[in-house]
Amino acid sequence: MTDILPGLQMSFLEILLVCGAAVLALARWFPAAARRPMAFSGAALVVLPSAVLCVAGMRWQSVPVLAGGLLALPFAVAPLLPRRSGRQARRARWWVALPGSAVCLGLIAAGPAAAWALPRPDFPAPSGRYPVGTTVVQWTDMSRPETATADPRDHRVVVVQLWYPAARNTPHARRAPYLGRTRAESRTVSDALAGSVGVPGFVLDGLPQARSRAYLDVPPVPGHQHFPVVLFSPGAGGVRTQNTAWAEELASHGYVVAGLDHPYDSTAVLLDDGRVVRSKLASTSDAAEGAKAAAAATAIRAADLSFVLTELGKMTRGQVPGPLAGRLDVTRAAVTGHSYGGSAALQAARQDPRFAAVIDLDGYPHDPAPAPYHQPALALIHTIGGSTADYHSRITEVLGLSTTTGYRLVIPGSSHLTFTDAPLYLPPYSPIVGGLGRTGSLHTTAGATLAFLDHVLGNAKGDTAQALKPYGNLTVLAPHTAR
């Protein structure tokens, strides 16, 4: 069903249900002449839309609306029906009807409030000149055993989603589901994400219903242009699609983005053989043990990123199958990540000189042995929710190890989840998603990222610092000189 109030995320039938339930809740207070037509109209607007919604699939946000309407229905309609004696039933006393109406209206209002606070994400159209295609590949690193299992024959598997500049007017093209290749995969991942934060799966039921702006498995844009590559590692327990809006924006401007699922770290990863691999990350109150676990997870992620860059190089040379054979410029590859993924990106840059740039989206560096690296580095840092002095000093230290230049960009009004898709579907409560708005968060994150990438990987002219300054409070760290 199409939303006729996109900001509220309610369909026409759902709005009719809200109107009908509200009329029933208020029927007691209408003038006598209007009471009968309004009450029966309200009953029809509750019964008919709810019947259709039950068949088509009722969203949980409509359940309190239906409950309020059904609760008010007998009190609104019964006094209007004739009895056998020929007399109408008496209306409820005002001192009973008033709190009853208030309860019903509260239930009814809860529906639109929930639809507004937890909507199905509506992805903004990318602003670049290219349509965006997406596809998913799975690669196995035969040089690395899987340390999360006891089977010595089990090797490290990585699932990668690619977003890329796509051809226009592809027949039968369909927009890709969010969170997965199919609705079933999206549902599996959505339920796992909900479970990871301790809420029932139905609370995030808008995610499996959403579609991104990318088209699934369409050909790349025709021609011989070679596109720079941006590898992305998600946050702890995060999934490859957690920054879909950001990835689509970059792809529309001529980048190929490769988002990684890290099995046994990402909340849920669906493999080609149908297995669902769940996260084995565990929290601990022991600071030393937590730091050790974080360093171990970061090291695995960094190795995953280097492995994927190798496979992308093979793809562009036609050595492994993929839609982008001959179209990737892996000599212009940036490694990026959010939170844990940002830490992994910094470590991957230090360990792998093939990366030409590194971006950390609000990630604390967990590398136990930071050392100088040659890539220009950018870190985006939140302001809402508190950043410890240790975090700022640590990120400043690691950015300062770049032998070119490091850029620390503090984003006013941002929280840790500002740099993900979360503002599109979580309540607009600033301690959770920041105060930049549902799409303002994307514009800031993608704008700063593109400004940096266009200068260090592309042909943008002018000073990188000047291009970054409009997005936040910038500190430029002088190139590190090895002693």
pLDDT at 123 over 70: yes
Tokens representing residue 466 in the block: 């000047």
Give the position of tokens 């509220």: 8
Categorize the per-residue pLDDT at 7 as very low, low, confident or very high, splitting at 50, 70 and 90.
low
Going through 115-168 in order, the beta strands assigned E by DSSP cover 132-145, 155-165
Distances (CA, A) of 430 to 112, 210, 339, 359: 20, 23, 18, 24
Domains and CATH numbers, the chain: 3-116 (no CATH), 132-477 (3.40.50.1820)
pLDDT digits (tens, 9 = 90+) for 165-207: 999 988 889 999 999 999 999 999 999 999 998 899 999 999 9
- The mean pLDDT value of the chain amounts to 92
Q: What's the rounded mean pLDDT across residues 106-123?
A: 93
* Pairing label, strands 132-145, 211-216: parallel
Please say if the pLDDT value at position 477 is more than 90.
yes
Distance between alpha carbon 114 and the CA centroid of its chain, in Å? 18
H/E segment holding residue 331: strand 328-338
The span from the CA of 152 to the CA of 319, in Å, is 27
Q: What is the pLDDT of residue 86?
A: 57
Helix axes 94-117, 63-77, angle to 10 degrees: 160
Contact 380, 345 (CB under 8 A): no
pTM to 2 decimals? 0.92
The H or E element containing residue 55 is: helix 32-56
Residues 6+ apart with CB under 8 A from 422: 242, 432, 433
Give me the mean pLDDT over the 461-467 stretch.
94
β-partners of residue 5 are: 10
pLDDT in tens, 218-235: 999 999 999 999 999 999
Using CA atoms, how far apart are residues 325 and 100, in angstroms rounded to an integer?
66
Cβ-based neighbour number of residue 283 at 10 Å: 7
Q: What is the mean pLDDT of residues 62-73?
A: 94
Q: How far apart are CA 407 and CA 461, in angstroms?
A: 17
CA dihedral (456, 462, 463, 469) positive or negative? negative
Q: Judging by DSSP bridges, how do beta strands 155-165 and 227-233 pair with one another? A: unpaired
Residue 469 reports pLDDT greater than 70 = yes
Residue 343: predicted pLDDT: 97
Rg (CA), the chain: 27
Q: Where are the alpha helices (DSSP H) in 331-469?
A: 340-351, 389-399, 430-433, 440-456, 464-468
| Phi (first) and psi of residue 138, to 5 degrees | -130, 130
pLDDT value for 5: 54
The 10s digit of each residue's pLDDT in 34-49 is: 888 999 999 999 999 9
pLDDT, position 1: 46
d(CA 332, CA 334): 7
Q: Label the pairing between strands 10-11 and 132-145.
A: unpaired
**CB contact at 8 A, 420 and 235:** yes
- Whether 385 shows a pLDDT value over 90: the answer reads no
For position 204, what pLDDT does the model report?
Answer: 93
For residue 483, the model assigns a pLDDT of: 38
Check residues 151 and 158 and name the one with the higher pLDDT. 158
Helices 340-351 and 287-316 cross at an angle (nearest 10°) of 60
pLDDT at 57 over 70: yes
Work out the pLDDT band at 285, boundaries 50, 70, 90. confident
How far is residue 179's CA from residue 392's CA, in Å, rounded to a whole number? Answer: 32
Contact 112, 10 (CB under 8 A): yes
CB 128 within 8 A of CB 253: yes
Range of weakest confidence among 63-72, 117-126, 284-293, 326-335: 284-293
User: Could you give the CA distance from residue 264 to residue 417 in angstroms, rounded to a whole number?
Assistant: 22
